[in-house]
Amino acid sequence: MLLRFVSRVLLVCLAVLLPVGCSSTTTSGTGTATVKLSQLPAEARRTVALIDKGGPFPYAKDGVVFGNYEKLLPQQKRGYYHEYTVRTPGSRDRGARRIVTGQDAEIYYTDDHYKSFRTVLR
């Protein structure tokens, strides 16, 4: 009887802990989750490619200073970060998706209009 109880408890613990250990999301040194560039939506990969080439950019606000008012990215002086629109198919406006770059070549992706960020790994 005791053996059955212990095995059930271990099974429940394993079921709870296993998904945590198998998560594909990791965190960066900044505490943000990370995502590989190859795992981003195709539109985001195209935006990164345009950034790498220096443009031209399809939206007038692409390249403007990102203020980091949400304070979710590491604190830097104003002008350190710049934002770029990631096209959202079917959206009538710029949508919620953005790439934010830093002066030290870091790249962040948000698909919820700055509520959360993931560090993009190349």
Nearest residue to 63 (alpha-carbon basis) of 113, 32, 28, 101: 101
Which residues are within 8 A (CB) of 68 and not within 5 positions of it... i.e. 6 or more apart? 75, 76, 81
83 is a catalytic site residue: yes
Nearest residue to 99 (alpha-carbon basis) of 88, 29, 90: 88
- Indicate which residue of 43, 70, 82, 83 is catalytic: 83
113 is a catalytic site residue: yes
Active site residues: 83, 113
